[in-house]
Chain A
């Protein structure tokens, strides 16, 4: 009996001693940066952290800087100087300098993935501005919670289908994938709003190789199944609201030339029409506009040899693996893509259908 009690006490003491729970830091002793800016200065990484800090009845945003040979070292420098422990797990957005993006993000991204300090769900953004300038200017227009930048990219807040939404793990995947590249949104500090969107960067193997516009980004999002609901399309004769879109793709390889047929079914609702318009005309116009835009994206992809739409995915079961690794360089430029847009005008409620 006594022995049993003694061993029970011993076991509970072990739980305390072996668990390392004294390393647990309470939430008010952690600094929780929400945004990180990374740029290169010569050979060193320059890291900025945006840390919201509770003061009295509100939050104050603190901008801290660190420099180091690696991103981790830079963060460590910051953590050493700060009064609380820097906990990177709440990081939401990483902003890269454009110069750094053009030089390549491979090292930092694989660092983030491997070290696990930073969640792989973090959104990756590129800025056109110089990184210090960007943070200084955007801090002025930022709400005191400091999460504004993140809200711009959050689906249930400020996100919009014209903005690319790419997370660290997706960039990491694209670095190692033969058949898929990603687009990262490009922003700059705004005057009235906190940021302004300037389209997206095409990232090929972790390196920025080109840009696409906001409209083209929308197409990319639609193609990958991100909702484009609520998007208003303005044409010469009418403006329509895209209610839903579905893609049906089929692919084949004939004689080392990939062929792809993509059928887009759009359900739209008319918002505004001008005189002398009828449904057929609107449909025709919409189909023409979209096909042209799709073709433009494909041309851009071919020119950059970067597969932002992830079209290569449709050929993974058609090409052997040793051929797949040449997908970007050999197959993509030869791709014969055929877009077929079908529009269904469904007009319940908004406007009487012109006959």
Chain B
């Protein structure tokens, strides 16, 4: 069947790394096809020969061997192409037109299991997920050794195929939630998945929300803990983290590894994070409110020393703080972008400029620098970088309202933020839901 070979060559032949090789297996010629960039050809060939020699009784013809290898019946051209692009080897017998897809010795294209890059662990397991979805699922199984863990795999996308895995624990989860998620996935299988935003779109979430619908984590321990609490974990191939659905407010404060410490310490740490969020939200606003709108709230001694530190500062408090906050955000962003070798330079320059020169030049007050430092430090107490971003955003709302209405503005802005958080829900589960038992949901429609 020349057309098959011809078709394959026309479809994939433009790729210089596409290999079509004629070899002899059991004294009859067959054609091997695959991408040399994804599989180790020499190794694969010798393994294949060895395998055939060992597993088949002598006297078998190549025809039977291929039949044995391809247990799925006739392979169509589309299937063959997608198998090859996924990194498999295709064996094609020209005489009998038989084809088989074989798992080759692939090149090592994923990194090994490493420690997490965005979530530092003080006291607990430090292996983190990587880009390979199979490795990730394997790690989950290793972490939660039970037959109750169920995994569903989907291949999504029309042009580009990406794999999506759904994991849950059968007895812990509300099956209604699973059904909703699965039906959303199955009805959107043709969507391309590259980022969490795409997954979000697939799930049909409102796209303009500040709060992520997925809590992301790099740690198998965290992901398994979420499963145990009756939540769903999604993996997208090539994303080195798990997507936990639904995300809850408490993910900001609760880390499973806290439980490796004595209980009072655990509680104290979580309280500290709660305090950190409040400080981040309120401090900049409080500065503006107290300095420019409601100085009567301050004690007279403090009022005088603040007045003294602001002596000669040309801008009103609002402009002053917004200016410095933006510089600070830039510093944060820059330190993410820069390679590790130049990173310290930014820290140093930022430290000197922000800390010393600005005050000496009397552009901002001393107190503001303290406020900024406190805010930045407090902001980092939150668990998970993705969670701190929304908090960083909300603080501007509070600053703006504080500059207009003072202390009253802070209160109303906090109410606004609370109302916003209360309004967020995922498949009917409120963002503020506290999983009291080991099960999420039951309240969603």
Contact among B296, B304, B403 with A21 in the assembled complex (CB-CB below 8 Å) = B403
A179 and B317 alpha carbons, distance in the complex (Å): 49
- Which of B304, B308, B317 contacts A26 (CB under 8 A)? B317
The A-contacting residues of B in range 143-181, CB under 8 angstroms, are none
Among A21, A27, A54, A89, max chain B CB count under 10 A is at A27
Q: Which residues of A contact B300 (CB under 8 A)?
A: 32, 34, 90, 92, 147, 150
Q: A19-B405, A54-B311, A59-B308 are in contact. Are A27 and B292 (CB under 8 A)?
A: yes
Q: Given A34-B300, A89-B296, A150-B300, are A26 and B404 also a contact pair (CB < 8 Å)? A: no
Which B residues, 275 to 306, have Cβ-Cβ distances below 8 Å to chain A? Answer: 290-293, 295-296, 300-301, 303-306
Chain B residues lying within 8 Å of A54, measured Cβ to Cβ, are 304-305, 307-308, 311
**A147 cross-chain contacts in B, Cβ below 8 A:** 300-301
B316 near A: Cβ within 8 Å?
A: yes
Complex Cα gap A19–B317 (Å): 17
Within 8 A of B (CB), among A3-51: 15-16, 19, 21, 24-28, 30, 32, 34
**Closest CB in chain A relative to B191 CB, distance in Å:** 23
Task: Report Cα–Cα, A333/B280, bound state, in Å.
Answer: 63
Tell me how far the C-beta of A145 lies from the nearest C-beta in chain B, rounded to whole angstroms: 6
A27 to B304, CA, bound (A): 9
For A24, the chain B residues whose CB sits under 8 A away are: 292-293, 316, 403, 406
Q: Mark A199-220, 1 if CB is under 8 A from B, else 0.
A: 0000000000000000000000
Residues on A with beta carbons closer than 8 Å to the beta carbon of B303: 27, 32, 90
The interface bits of chain A over 123-163 (1 if a CB of B lies within 8 angstroms of the residue's CB, else 0) are 00000000000000000000001010010000000000000
Q: For B293, give the chain A residue with the smallest CB separation.
A: A24
- Contact: A26 with B292, CB < 8 Å? yes
Give the complex CA separation of A28 and B403 in angstroms. Answer: 16
Q: Is the CB of B405 within 8 A of A28?
A: no
B273 in contact (CB, < 8 A)? no
Cross-chain pair count, CB within 8 angstroms: 63
CB distance from A218 to the nearest CB of B (A): 28
Is B99 an interface residue when CB atoms closer than 8 A count as contact? no
Q: How large is the interface on A (under 10, 10 to 19, 20 to 34, 35 or more residues)?
A: 20 to 34
Contacts of A16 in B (CB 8 A): 404
Contact of A87 with B by CB under 8 A: yes
Alpha-carbon distance between A41 and B402 when the two chains are bound, in angstroms: 44
- In this assembly, does A52 line the interface, its C-beta being within 8 Å of a C-beta of chain B? yes
Complex CA gap A24/B295 in Å reads: 10
The reply on A251 being an interface residue by CB < 8 A is no
Contact A90 B295 (CB under 8 A): yes
Given contacts A19-B405, A90-B296, contact A28 B310 (CB under 8 A): yes
On chain A, the residues within 8 Å of B403 by CB distance are 21, 24
Cβ-based interface call for A70 (8 A) = no
Check if B304 sits within 8 Å of A52, measured CB to CB.
yes
**CB atoms of A89 and B404 under 8 A apart:** no
Kindly identify, within residues 116 to 161 of chain B, every residue whose CB is under 8 Å from any CB belonging to chain A: none
Residue from the set A15, A19, A25, A54 with the largest chain B CB neighbour count within 10 Å: A54
Q: Tell me, rounded to whole Å, the shortest Cβ–Cβ distance linking A22 to chain B.
A: 9
CB proximity of A219 to chain B, nearest CB, Å: 31
Kindly provide the distance from the CB of B291 to the nearest chain A CB, expressed in whole angstroms.
Answer: 5
**Is there a chain A Cβ closer than 8 Å to B77's Cβ?**
no
**A-facing mask of B392-421, CB < 8 A → 1, else 0?**
000000000001111000000000000000
A244 close to chain B: CB less than 8 A: no
A177 to B59, CA, bound (A): 120
| 28 pairs from A and B in contact (CB 8 Å cutoff) | A16-B404, A19-B404, A21-B293, A21-B403, A21-B404, A24-B293, A24-B403, A26-B291, A26-B317, A27-B303, A27-B306, A27-B307, A27-B310, A28-B308, A28-B313, A30-B295, A30-B307, A32-B303, A54-B305, A54-B307, A54-B308, A59-B304, A89-B296, A90-B295, A90-B296, A119-B296, A145-B304, A147-B300
A residues with CB within 8 A of B: 15-16, 19, 21, 24-28, 30, 32, 34, 52, 54, 59, 87, 89-90, 92, 119, 145, 147, 150
The 9 A-B pairs with the shortest beta carbon distances in the complex, nearest first, are: A54-B308, A89-B296, A28-B310, A21-B404, A19-B404, A27-B295, A24-B292, A26-B292, A28-B307
